[in-house]
Structure 1
Amino acid sequence: MINKRVISAAIALPILLFFVLRGGIAFTIGVLAITAIALYEYICVYKNTNHKVIFFPILIGYFLNAYSVIISNKNVIIPAILLVVITSMATPIFAKKYNVVSSALTITGYIYIVVFFSMLIYIIQAPNGSTLIWLVFIIAFGTDTFAYYSGRFFGRTKLCPEVSPKKTVEGSIGGILGSILGVSLWGYINPHINFHWYQLIMMGTVGSIISQIGDLSASLIKRYAGVKDYGNIMPGHGGILDRFDSILFTAPVVYYYIVLFLG
């Protein structure tokens, strides 16, 4: 019998390729859709805890952000963040079922999911964006794949057992090397993008480390909430947040690398 994880990947990969290769409004709609699903998963994961995410502010933030990316105007982001922060912190004053932790979870969820996912859209909207966007997936998936096999064959030293018992230092190093290899290969294939080799190696290194922190951060939330997965939309993988946790942290790294080095 074919593993459910393999079947899910076989279905998800063509869908991912379709939206990335189409770009434009198709890619924007695709990202907004998975952002909405990820938000739902994030809100639901805290339902069995003593602290709840405040729905109204995060919903306002989502629609403002959607408006921002559709009209390609980043100036909406700061007012959206301010509005989410103010409404999130004001709500517990009037609704006693929420508290200051609810405010913190709401603000964190908005930035972590809505703002970070939007970075994918801003990358593809940049000059050469249809080429640059692959850096996010190369770093995240390269790190995951090489970390898995490096840990499986060479793993001895636990990396962070209280958060993720199976992850090892050797696996982490393998993930970094895999990311550097993938980014370097991307640079070789795309010499017209004016990244120097040292910039690519640095991006692969920093991106991989941040990607792994994203993975561990998502695991930390699940451990706190007492759940194995964020959802079951992708059998064998879990929810959107289970599959995109490392991508969420990688996207801002790539975006600001582009801003810093390519203008």
Structure 2
Amino acid sequence: MKTFITRTITALFFVAIMLGGILWTPLSFFLLFFLVNFFALQEYAKLVRHIDADYTEISSWHRYGALIAGCAMMLAFTGSNFERNGLSLGEIGWAMSFIFILILPLGEILMGKTFSLKTIGYSLLGLMYVTVPFGLLADLRFTEVPGYHAPGYLIPLLLICFIWINDTMAYIVGSLIGRTPFAPAISPKKTIEGTVGGMILAVAAAGVFGHFWGHQWLPLQHWIALSAIAAVFGTAGDLLESRLKRLAGVKDSGNIMPGHGGFLDRFDSLLVAAPFAWIYVSLFVR
């Protein structure tokens, strides 16, 4: 009972922070995911240290340099949205990203106990896995959709909601009729019935809402496509992070949220779904 209460309080607090950050202003949206990116990168590095002990030998320059590079890349994705006196956060971010990514190997050579392209690759992979998706999500927020009356936060919010619906429905359907394991070596509790059921119900919910109420913001086909992307690639993101945790031999990526794990545990689906949603929006919506 105590665990249930803790999980509920944490979940309500998490939802309140998420909605406040997403809906308030473009700046609050950026600050929210800037912080999420910062902590998720640290959790990724911790997982890698469990997977490969060589990563524990990297220098402090490498460790903090990768974090700064991730923060700089997030700044870069803001573009010209936060500009003052002719200088924007985006320009500062691009300059810092270039500098830190360029001199990261040099610093490792000079300051590390050993030099390994493998450990450099782990850090660059972390930036691609964590920071780029959050940056693309910010780009979706900052770029207006021409010809539609959709607020800037609509598509990122829909993506998160569709992922939540898919996960919830997959759990319910899997609990009721799930029999066939989907990926037993990675996530033993996932079933094919639950996974497919969650996807179908997420797309159905998006179609119903888009048909009756959402057409004022986006045409129905975009509601269906975005929900399908969230369901399919969100599930892939969940399995990918589960695989990383199994390789690392840990249950959760972190413990920042009691009863819910870490930031990677909460945003694993979004990390894979966001880039594909960005591609779809860039090609067919904008």
Alpha-carbon offset, residue 91 of structure 1: 6.1
| 2:37 maps to 1:35 | yes
Q: 2:54 aligns with which of 33, 36, 51?
A: 51
Q: 1:62 to 1:34 in 2, by over 3 A?
A: same
1:1-263 to 2 correspondence within 5 Å? 1=1, 3=4, 4-48=6-50, 49-52=52-55, 54-70=62-78, 71-72=80-81, 86-87=102-103, 95-127=112-144, 128-188=151-211, 189-197=213-221, 199-263=222-286
The structure-2 alpha-carbon separation of the partners of 1:83 and 1:158, relative to structure 1 and needing over 3 Å to count, comes to farther
The count of aligned residue pairs is 262
Q: CA–CA distance in 1 between the matches of 2:270 and 2:13?
A: 19
Alignment TM-score, normalising by the size of structure 1: 0.87
Any conservation in 2 of the 1:119–1:251 contact (CA below 8 Å)?
yes
CA contact (8 A) 1:28 1:69 kept: no
Residue 254 of structure 1 aligns with an amino acid whose one-letter code is: A
Measure how far apart 1:246 and its partner are. 0.6
CA shift for structure 1 position 254: 2.1
Consecutive unaligned residues in structure 1, runs of 5 or more? none
SS in 2 for 1:228: coil
Whole-angstrom distance in 1 between the partners of 2:168 and 2:114: 42
Q: How far off is 1:82 after superposition?
A: 6.6
Q: Which amino acid aligns with 2:188?
A: P
Partner Cα distance (2:54, 2:94) in 1: 26
Gaps of 5+ in 2: 82-87, 145-150
Aligned with 1:227: secondary structure?
A: coil
Code of the aligned partner of 1:228:
K
- Whether contact under 8 Å (1:124, 1:132) holds in the other structure is yes
What's the CA shift for 1:142? 1.2
Q: Give the whole-Å Cα distance in 1 for the aligned partners of 2:160 and 2:226.
A: 13
- Residues 45-83 of structure 1 deviation map (CA, whole Å, 9 limit, x = unaligned): 233332327424423422322322344487888887776
Specify whether residues 252 and 84 from structure 1 end up closer, same or farther in structure 2 by C-alpha distance, changes over 3 A only. farther
CA–CA separation in structure 2 for the residues paired with 1:58 and 1:97: 17
Counterparts of 1:213 and 1:76 in 2: how far apart (Å)? 34
- The alignment's TM-score, normalised by the length of structure 2, stands at 0.81
8 Å contact 1:138–1:182 — kept in the other structure?
Answer: no
Flag the structure with larger Rg.
2
| Deviations, residues 4-51 of structure 1 (Å, cap 9, x unaligned) | 322211111111111111031111111101111111111122333323
| Deviates further, 28-37 or 99-108 | 99-108
